Amino acid sequence: MEKTWNNKAWFMVMPALLIVAFSAVIPLMTVVNYSVQDTFGNNEFFWAGTEWFTEILESDRFWGALIRNLSFSVIILLIEIPLGVFIALNMPRRGIAVPFCLVTMAMPLLIPWNVVGTIWQLITRSDIGLFGYALAQIGIQFNAAGDPLHAWITVVVMDVWHWTSLVVLLAYAGLVSIPDAYYQAARIDGASRWSVFRYIQLPKMKRVLLIAVLLRFMDSFMIYTEPFVVTGGGPGTSTTFLSIDLVKMAIGQFDLGPAAAMSIIYFLIILLLSWIFYTVMTSSDATS
């Protein structure tokens, strides 16, 4: 019997495809168009080929911003993933405290990015900020806008405060999905807490931790609003990440060709590193 195809389903997904086309594909094609052309105004464009890509890849400015971005993402992952798992392990599984803990964990995620940056910009000031004033009382002059180390500490702590909750909620979801039979068997065998974590909890959390790593890497690598509000990319270029440098190039300097080429390189780097993360973690999961 010949199989029939029902093409009516395409009419159901067509609105979503159109939205994706207008919000993603068409802007991407526009960026590609700008990246291979040059303009001298009056909406007149001239073919530039790979000139802008070569200029970006040979620029110390680009590589400096890339190194800062990679350093920031590595620091964030090394702090937030273990900290999120630790908090999730110590959260209650039953009782009235469960919804309280979940709501408390979710609250930082509800705050807009620009508000987060404003909060930490104010809180680190020595004249009106609680954190900055407390440090000033013990003789430490904390200045996120003038000291590169202080700026990095502020940006890292701010991101940890804002996004560790996401890792906590994902890890907690993996923990509560473990059947009680596993814990009962572990108690019968006299397994230690470390053994329970290593052989029961961690394997069951691998998939959600993969999601957490991918989400946190992509978010941290594309971070813009929070450090821009707090430090503006400074002092100097100490917290000028690729996103901030890209905006300065496109809007501040109006170099549309180099900015378009840089945005494509930026996109490909994120895509490549995310694929590497996914491949490594899924292959280790398959072999374990």
d(CA 108, CA 22): 31
pLDDT digit of tens for each residue in the chain (288 aa)? 556 666 777 777 888 888 877 777 778 888 888 888 877 666 677 788 888 899 999 989 999 999 999 999 999 999 999 999 999 999 988 888 888 989 999 999 999 888 988 888 888 887 788 888 888 888 888 888 888 999 999 999 999 999 999 999 999 998 988 888 888 888 888 888 888 888 888 888 888 888 899 899 989 999 998 899 988 888 888 899 999 999 988 888 888 888 999 999 999 998 898 888 888 777 766 555
Q: Which residues contact 10 (CB under 8 A, 6 or more apart)?
A: none
d(CA 238, CA 243): 14
* 3-class secondary-structure state, position 284: helix
d(CA 14, CA 220): 33
Beta carbons of 230 and 120 less than 8 angstroms apart: yes
Nearest in space to 216 (alpha carbons), one of 107, 105, 115, 78 = 78
Return the sign of the alpha-carbon dihedral for residues 110, 206, 99, 130: negative
Residue 26 corresponds to which tokens in the numbers above?
């068409």
Beta carbons of 147 and 235 less than 8 angstroms apart: yes
What are the start-end ranges of the E strands in the chain? 37-39, 45-47
In angstroms, what CA-CA distances link 274 with 192, 204, 263, 268, 281? 35, 22, 16, 10, 11
* 3-class secondary-structure state, position 46: strand
Residue 153 corresponds to which tokens in the numbers above?
């500490």
Q: What is the pLDDT of residue 190?
A: 85
Residue 210 corresponds to which tokens in the numbers above?
């993969």
Could you tell me if residue 146 is left (phi over 0), alpha (psi between -120 and 50 degrees) or otherwise beta? alpha
Beta carbons of 71 and 239 less than 8 angstroms apart: no
H-only helix segments in 36-96: 51-57, 60-89
Q: Which residue has the tokens 């100490």?
A: 238
Q: What is the pLDDT of residue 287?
A: 58
Nearest in space to 221 (alpha carbons), one of 238, 244, 254 = 244
